A and B are shown apart, each in its own frame.
Chain A
Amino acid sequence: MRTGTIQLLSAVNVFAMVFCLLTVPGELENLYGAEAKYVAWGVFIAIGLAVAVILTYLQDREERNL
């Protein structure tokens, strides 16, 4: 995967994570209480980090290949 594509995916990953963090936990809090909000925060941050780790791995591999 090209470096530029990885950067683009990284930007989309950050966008998606921030958008989800600012909208979904609030909805879940209204429906299920405060605990759901914090669980949602944890889940979204974990997903964002996991995707970032994968992208970082791909980036490193790409740079080694160059």
Chain B
Amino acid sequence: MSIKTMSAAVAILLSAACAMTALSSDGEPGTSIREEAVTLEEYGRMVDEAAAEIRSETGMSYGEYCSYIEGILGSVIYIHGVDGTVTAEIVDTIDAGRTGFEWRGNGFDIYLDSYVVAGGTAAIVGAVTSAMPALAAVLAGTVAAVVMQYLSENDTPNGVVLHYGCYWTVNTPFGSFNVYHMPVLEYVGAQ
């Protein structure tokens, strides 16, 4: 086996390992009361309904609700749903400590795609550049990463940006993250 073939095989194996890690890091069902794949429109409607429920329970005005959520939550997340759906897991709607609600997605559908794309791209780049000098290979890989990043940011299949007062617990090979949404109750559809 030539060194180039071996490099390509190692890169592809690493890619497969990354994909398997993403698969195995799927979130635990936890205290979910239901789990289903929803369209983004349904997702938006369900979050709106949850927000309305909280406001009716607490007596908050819309502005108070936004300020309250804004005090808890952080930045913006951009969800790129490849097939127009997200897998959402709705957990216990009332967190006693916060009189708020949790909307926990397991991140599977959203993040698996990006990891597979990243792993596949890296495998191809690693295989193609395996016969190049180390510095040239790194420069070529950097260019490839910039191009892929540009494509991923400018070719979002559904171009959907969700701004809601809720968060996702995302399990990745690098650990679990709570990814927060801005509490702006609006749905920005396909771009």
- A residues less than 8 Å from B10 (CB atoms): 8, 11-12, 15
Interface size class of A (residues with CB under 8 A): 20 to 34
Asked whether A22 and B138 contact (CB < 8 A) given A7-B131, A15-B14, the answer is no
Residues in chain B near residue A8, CB distance under 8 A:
3, 6-7, 10, 130
Query: Which chain B residue shows the least CB distance to A59?
Result: B134
Q: How far is the CA of A30 from the CA of B174 in the complex (A)?
A: 14
Which residues of the other chain, B, contact A59 by a CB distance below 8 angstroms? 133-134
Rounded to whole angstroms, the CA-CA distance of A49 and B148 in the bound complex is: 19
Contact of B135 among A4, A27, A31, A56 (CB under 8 A): A56
Question: At the interface, yes or no: B121 with Cβ under 8 Å from chain A?
Answer: yes
The reply to whether A30 and B75 contact each other, CB–CB distance below 8 Å, is yes
What residue in chain A is nearest B132 (Cβ atoms)? A10
User: Which of B74, B126, B152, B170 meets A11, CB within 8 Å?
Assistant: B126
Whether B149 sits at the interface, judged by CB under 8 Å, is yes
Q: Given A27-B177, A30-B75, A14 and B135 touching (CB < 8 A)?
A: no
A11-B11, A59-B133 known; A19-B138 Cβ under 8 A: no
Which chain B positions have C-beta within 8 A of A11?
A: 7-8, 10-11, 126-127, 129-130, 137
Q: How many residues of B contact A (CB 8 A)?
A: 48
Given A7-B130, A8-B3: A19 and B137 interface contact (C-beta under 8 Å): no
Stretch at the interface among B25-33, B44-52, B110-118: B110-118
Within 8 A of A (CB), among B79-124: 114-115, 117-119, 121-123
The answer for the CA separation of A26 and B6 in the assembled complex, in Å, is 30
Taking a contact as CB atoms under 8 Å apart, the answer to whether B145 and A22 are in contact is yes
Q: How far is the CB of B104 from chain A (nearest CB, A)?
A: 15
* Contact yes or no, A52 B134, CB < 8 A: yes
Known contacts A7-B4, A30-B76, A53-B135; 20 further A-B pairs (Cβ under 8 A):
A7-B131, A10-B130, A10-B132, A11-B11, A11-B130, A13-B138, A14-B130, A15-B15, A15-B123, A15-B125, A16-B122, A17-B138, A22-B122, A27-B172, A27-B177, A30-B78, A45-B142, A48-B138, A49-B135, A52-B135
**10 nearest A-B pairs in the assembled complex, by CB-CB distance:** A15-B126, A11-B130, A22-B118, A11-B7, A55-B134, A19-B122, A21-B145, A18-B122, A52-B134, A14-B141
- Can you name 8 A-B residue pairings with CB atoms under 8 Å? A10-B134, A14-B140, A18-B125, A18-B144, A22-B114, A27-B172, A45-B142, A52-B135
